[in-house]
Amino acid sequence: MIQEVKFNIKSLIKQHNLTIGEVCKRLGQDRGYINRITDEVKLKKIIDIANAIGCSPGELLAGL
């Protein structure tokens, strides 16, 4: 499941002409933050990532 979310995150980052580094900087995290997300990720983190990208949390969860 988390692999699908990570794929969606990376796809949406590209669609919004951003880099993983830029998104992590907006979150106040280091560049490896997104890669360290596990199946136990809290919804709050998904919402924060969506806000940093400029998309809805639902878009990150698409396909689940």
The domains located in the chain, with CATH, are 2-60 (1.10.260.40)
51 vs 63, more confident? 51
Give every CB contact of residue 56 below 8 A, 6+ residues apart in sequence: 50
How many residues are recorded in the chain?
A: 64
pLDDT in tens, 13-50: 999 999 999 999 999 999 999 999 999 989 999 999 99
Name which of 33, 43, 35 is nearest 7 in CA terms.
35
pTM: 0.91
pLDDT of residue 64: 83
How far apart CA 45 and CA 57 sit, in angstroms, is 10
